[in-house]
Every structure is written in structure tokens, then in C-alpha cells.
């Protein structure tokens, strides 16, 4: 199919217009009952499990994901899937970690940090989190911009023009509907993201002569699930996994992913299996990259920018109407995430800055308005970052690495009671200084965004953990009463929130909902092993089922790469 056939037609514009009108109307309809800051920021913690799955999948999947993955696979082969699958091996741990964020009973991670480490660390985290949202939104916008621009023809619209047009798309219903509108539109747009992930494959396989055609023109290493040729060796996978495990705990939107469901199990199911769906879709993005690599060899051409691979496939494999559908899918992947990020950004500014330092006496209606306006304003800052992004994969890994350094403090504060604010601050400062110091020494240049390498990340993480432990042990402990309250909340189930005032929530251990990871050093005490199977029933069953799901996904990818061998 030639490029002219894939240009935007009247039918494509019609498909796109129907999508925009439909999703905006749906988002505004859902938002009609939002009248409080609690409803706006957390949906009053009443979302059903299936909406939680859609919210996790939609928010965790961005347009730059298929762009970066297809580009990396096109250049280095299928084994680069581990850049996106870096969280695959820690996804079962989401089941164990999800209740942390509901049991803290806070609106933001910043408030959770204040409960654990005091106001100073809360302020540091809030500033980091707002930067995180700005950087991520910019990266997502540029990823979608690259794909859409190439799909409709770069002479028709540039990536940056797509970015500017995209911002308007999700602001309206997010501004009025908050997390409820975001979560429900995430669920709907999740279906479009799945369509996007596999839509190009049938026509692509036909165009290159199937797997046999691809194998005839590509190196055998391109079909490995793991190899060192791709640049993703065992050490890299280990560091990516560590990056994912530590970083996920500090990502600013993780609280809404886990704490907004009707029950703790709704949060567990949503975060774990919404992420599993993304892992499944990643197989489609990687296969698309292989198809483009074969198309380029067969046609004797090449791409100036490897991250144009996904857009190249759209341009050459889709006809009228389908191109419009694909563009709608790409925009859906971004709108679902950006809307959630906008709400979370507003929550951070309102709860951790405005109501703490500027207007402690502000009433709920004022907080609701400030949340809307601050989220709107900070989202626009993401546009400026989008204009400066060149390689989406590098920016994506940068956005995933920064939370890992804050995550040393967050994770350490939950797993180790002795961790204090001085150790937490030292962990962040030392890990960041080590990361940038090593990258500067290796490159001779100072940049905000470096290409992700396992060595600098590994050393930075090791230095940060050592700083947390050493400084915490050498400085005064946190106030015992506050720490006791923090961990007491973590040991109580939040499923029944309609208890009379003054009545304590039931202990999780009596309901089979004790948390295996909580207070990790406590495993050296015999008391932690008493009634093990009964106390940790929810953790053990869910953790086991999640590992079975991981095994099935890895086997599916391996089996796919054996076709035609």
C-alpha cells in the first residue's frame, strides 16, 4: 500500500471526530456528580474492580510505549521487549503492595511521606512528583506526536503540532470530572489501546510474507526472547527489574491506582491485572517492530529516526478509515494517562502545598477549584518539555529512573521501621549525585536526560540504599508515637469504612489480609511465622496466581518467536 493511500481522508476525519465527541461527552456525563475534592481526587474510593483494571491499564499505557518499543525492536530485535517488560518480573509484587496505599488513607503519596518522615520530606516529594508529571506528559505527547505525524504524513502535520492539538482533547472532561471521569474514560479507551496494539499485525504479516518472510531477511537473533546482541543482557534485565520494583512504589499516581477501589482486593486486582494486560499488548508492539524491520529490508529503504517505525507501519499498512481509527487509538492511549496525571498533579499542589503552606483554612469548594486550576496549569508545562524531547525511549527510561531514587526512601520507610527522614533525604541526594556523576564521567557532558545504562543505575541505587541505612542508624529515630500510628494503620483492613466513629478497623491478620512485605526485618522473629497460611491467605493465593500469569505471558511470547523457525 503506497503512502498516498494512507493519507487522511474524509472517512478518517469522520472516525476521529466521532471518537472525540463520544469520549468527551461520556467524560462530561460521568463528571456530573463531582461536587467535592474527595470525589474529584479519589472518586470517594468507590470504583469497582473492573474500572480499576481499566484505570491501571489505561494510565500505565502511553502512546510513547508502542513508539519506543517498535523502534527498538526494529533496530535490535524482539529481545528489546525487556525495556517495556522491565516490570514483568515484579508485577506479582503489585498484589502484595497495593494495600499499602489504601491503608495509609491519604490522597497523595506526599501526605503519606509526611506521616512517615515529616513535612520536609513531603515537600521534597511533592516538588519531585510535579516535575515527574510534567516530564511524563511531555514524553507521552511527543511519542503520540511522532506516531500520528508519520501516520498522516509529516508534510501534513508535525509532531509538535500534534502535541498542541492533543492537549485540548483531554482537558475538558478532566477539568470537571476529576478521577471519576478519568477512570471511566480509561476503561473505555483501554479497548482502543488493545486495538492499537494488534491492529497493524495482520496486514503487516501479509505484506512481508509472514514469519517465513521475516526470517528470510532478518538476522536470527532478531527472534530471540533474550540475547546480548540486543543490548539487553541478564544484568540489564536485573537492573531494569530493580528499577521497576523500587520505582513503582514512588510513582506519584500509584496511590490512585491502588486506593480508589471499593475494597482492597479491587485495588490489588486492578493494579496487578491492568499491568498484565499491558505486558500482553507489549508483545504486539514488539511484533510490529519486527514487521517494519522486514519491510525496510525488503523495500531497500531505511528510517532516519528509528522511532518512526510505528508511524511507518501505520502509513504503509492502513487504508482510509483505519488510519483515523489508529490515530484515535494513539490519542486514547495518551488521553487516558494525561487525564489521570492532571488530576494527580492538582491533588499534589492542593493537598501538599496550597492547604499546608498557603491556605490551611481553605474550605472544600476552594480546594476543589484550586485542584482543577493547578492541574490544568501544570499540565500545560508538559507541552514545553514535549517540545524538547528527541528520543522517546531515552525520555521514557529517564521518567522511570527518577522515581526509583525517591523509591529508596518510600520503600525503605515501609519495610524498615528504623528508617528516618535524615536517611531518606540522604538516599535521594546520594543516589541522584551518583547517577549523574557516573554518567558525566562516562560521557564528558552534563545532560538532564541521559541514555539509560544499567551500570550507572545499579551503582546509584546501591549508594542510595547504603546512605539510607547508614544515616538512619547514625541519627535520631522518628517520633515513636507517629511511627506506631503509621504501622498500625498498615496492619488494619480498610474494607469496612462505615464503622462508627471511634471504633478501630479490624486487624488484617484476623481476616487473612496480613501483608507479607510489611516490616521486612520482622521476618527474623518467630511471631511472624505463627498462623502463616491463615494470616497471609490473601497475599499467598493472589501472589501465586499472578506468577502463573507471568509464566503464561512469557511462554506466549517465546512460542510466538518459534513460528517458522
Residue that wins the pLDDT comparison between 159 and 71: 71
CB neighbours of residue 325 within 10 Å: 20
User: Given this model, what pLDDT does residue 1 score?
Assistant: 39
pLDDT digits 0-9 by tens, 401-445: 778 899 999 999 999 999 999 999 999 999 999 999 999 999 898
Residue that wins the pLDDT comparison between 305 and 526: 526
Mean pLDDT of 375-393: 68
| Residue 539 exposure: Cα atoms within 13 Å on the Cβ side | 21
Structural domains of the chain in order of their starting residue, each with its CATH number: 3-400 (1.20.1730.10)
Residue that wins the pLDDT comparison between 232 and 395: 232
Q: Are 460 and 403 in contact (CB under 8 A)?
A: no
The pLDDT of residue 58 is above 80: yes
User: Given this model, what pLDDT does residue 2 score?
Assistant: 41
Mean pLDDT of 2-19: 69
User: Which letter, b or e, does each residue of 511-524 get, where b requires 16 or more Cβ atoms within 10 Å of its Cβ?
Assistant: bbbbbbebbeeeee
Q: How far apart are CA 37 and CA 350, in angstroms?
A: 10
The pLDDT of residue 3 is above 70: no
Q: Are 270 and 187 in contact (CB under 8 A)?
A: no
Residue that wins the pLDDT comparison between 211 and 176: 211
Burial of residue 336 (CB within 10 Å: 0-12, 13-18, 19+) is buried
User: Given this model, what pLDDT does residue 190 score?
Assistant: 80
The pLDDT of residue 42 is above 70: yes
Q: How far apart are CA 558 and CA 547, in angstroms?
A: 17
Helices 421-443, 392-415: crossing angle, 10 deg rounding: 150
Report residue 172's pLDDT band, with 50, 70 and 90 as the boundaries: low
**CA nearest neighbour of 31 among 45, 43, 17:** 43
User: Given this model, what pLDDT does residue 4 score?
Assistant: 37
Q: Of the segments 2-6, 195-199, 248-252, 497-501, which one has the largest average pLDDT value?
A: 248-252
Give me the sign of the Cα torsion angle 340, 386, 110, 518: positive
pLDDT digits 0-9 by tens, 493-542: 999 865 555 678 999 999 999 999 987 777 888 888 889 999 999 999 99
* Contacts of 479 by beta carbon, 8 Å cutoff, 6+ apart: none
Helix (H, G, I), strand (E, B) or coil at 31: helix
The pLDDT of residue 25 is above 70: yes
Q: Are 140 and 334 in contact (CB under 8 A)?
A: yes
The pLDDT of residue 177 is above 60: yes
The pLDDT of residue 556 is above 70: yes
pLDDT digits 0-9 by tens, 322-340: 888 887 877 777 777 777 8
With cell 462508627, the residue in question is: 500
The pLDDT of residue 393 is above 70: no
Q: Which range (48-52, 81-85, 155-159) has the least confidence? A: 155-159
The pLDDT of residue 26 is above 60: yes
User: Given this model, what pLDDT does residue 6 score?
Assistant: 44
The pLDDT of residue 159 is above 70: no
The pLDDT of residue 395 is above 70: no
Residue that wins the pLDDT comparison between 31 and 453: 453
Amino acid at each position: 500500500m503506497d503512502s498516498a493511500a494512507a493519507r487522511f481522508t474524509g472517512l478518517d476525519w469522520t472516525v476521529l471526530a466521532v471518537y472525540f465527541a463520544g469520549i468527551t461527552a461520556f467524560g462530561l456525563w460521568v463528571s456530573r456528580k463531582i461536587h467535592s475534592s474527595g470525589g474529584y481526587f479519589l472518586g470517594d474510593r468507590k470504583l469497582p474492580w473492573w474500572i480499576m483494571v481499566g484505570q491501571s491499564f489505561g494510565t500505565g499505557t502511553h502512546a510513547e510505549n508502542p513508539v519506543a518499543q517498535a523502534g527498538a525492536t526494529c533496530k535490535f530485535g524482539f529481545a528489546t521487549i525487556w525495556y517495556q517488560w522491565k516490570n514483568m518480573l515484579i508485577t506479582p509484587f503489585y498484589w502484595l503492595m497495593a494495600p499499602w496505599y489504601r491503608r495509609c488513607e491519604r490522597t497523595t503519596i506526599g501526605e503519606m511521606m509526611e506521616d512517615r518522615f515529616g513535612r520536609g520530606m513531603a515537600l521534597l516529594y511533592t516538588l519531585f512528583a510535579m516535575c515527574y508529571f510534567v516530564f511524563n506528559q511531555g514524553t507521552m505527547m511527543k511519542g503520540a506526536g511522532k506516531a500520528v505525524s508519520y501516520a498522516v504524513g509529516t508534510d501534513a502535520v508535525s509532531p509538535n503540532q500534534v502535541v498542541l492539538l492533543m492537549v485540548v482533547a483531554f482537558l475538558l472532561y478532566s477539568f470537571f470530572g476529576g478521577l471519576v471521569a478519568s477512570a471511566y474514560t480509561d476503561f473505555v479507551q483501554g479497548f482502543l489501546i488493545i486495538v492499537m496494539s494488534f491492529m497493524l499485525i495482520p496486514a503487516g504479516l501479509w505484506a512481508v510474507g509472514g514469519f517465513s518472510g521475516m526470517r528470510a531477511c532478518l538476522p536470527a537473533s532478531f527472534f530471540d526472547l533474550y540475547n546480548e546482541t540486543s543490548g539487553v543482557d541478564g544484568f540489564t534485565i536485573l537492573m531494569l527489574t530493580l528499577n521497576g520494583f523500587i520505582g513503582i512504589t514512588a510513582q506519584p499516581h500509584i496511590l490512585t491506582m491502588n486506593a480508589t477501589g471499593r475494597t482492597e482486593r479491587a485495588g490489588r486486582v486492578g493494579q496487578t491485572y491492568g499491568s498484565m494486560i499491558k505486558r500482553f499488548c507489549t508483545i504486539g508492539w514488539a511484533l510490529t517492530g519486527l514487521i517494519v524491520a522486514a519491510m525496510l529490508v525488503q523495500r531497500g529503504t531505511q528510517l532516519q529516526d528509528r522511532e518512526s517505525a510505528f508511524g511507518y507501519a501505520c502509513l504503509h499498512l492502513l487504508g482510509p478509515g483505519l488510519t483515523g481509527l489508529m490515530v484515535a487509538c494513539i490519542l486514547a492511549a495518551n488521553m487516558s494517562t494525561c487525564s489521570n496525571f492532571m488530576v494527580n498533579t492538582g491533588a499534589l499542589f492542593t493537598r501538599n502545598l496550597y492547604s499546608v503552606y498557603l491556605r490551611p483554612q481553605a474550605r472544600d469548594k476552594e480546594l476543589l477549584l484550586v485542584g482543577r486550576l493547578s492541574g490544568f496549569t501544570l499540565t500545560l508545562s508538559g507541552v514545553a518539555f514535549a517540545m524538547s524531547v528527541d528520543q522517546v525511549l531515552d525520555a521514557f527510561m529517564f521518567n522511570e529512573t527518577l522515581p526509583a531514587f525517591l523509591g529508596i526512601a518510600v520503600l525503605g520507610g515501609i519495610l524498615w521501621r528504623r528508617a528516618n527522614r535524615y536517611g531518606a533525604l540522604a538516599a535521594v541526594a546520594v543516589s541522584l549525585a551518583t547517577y549523574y556523576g557516573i554518567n558525566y564521567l562516562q560521557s564528558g557532558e552534563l545532560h538532564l536526560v541521559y541514555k539509560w545504562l544499567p551500570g550507572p543505575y545499579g551503582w546509584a541505587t546501591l549508594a542510595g540504599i547504603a546512605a539510607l541505612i547508614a544515616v538512619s542508624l547514625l541519627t535520631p529515630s522518628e517520633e515513636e508515637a507517629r511511627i506506631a500510628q503509621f504501622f498500625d494503620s498498615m496492619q488494619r483492613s480498610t474494607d469496612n469504612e462505615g464503622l462508627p466513629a471511634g471504633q478501630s478497623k479490624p486487624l488484617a491478620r484476623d481476616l487473612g489480609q496480613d501483608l507479607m512485605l510489611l516490616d521486612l526485618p520482622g521476618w527474623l522473629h518467630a511471631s511472624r511465622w505463627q498462623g502463616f497460611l491463615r494470616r497471609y491467605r490473601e497475599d499467598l493465593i493472589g501472589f501465586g496466581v499472578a506468577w502463573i500469569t507471568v509464566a503464561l505471558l512469557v511462554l506466549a511470547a517465546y512460542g510466538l518467536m518459534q513460528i517458522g523457525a
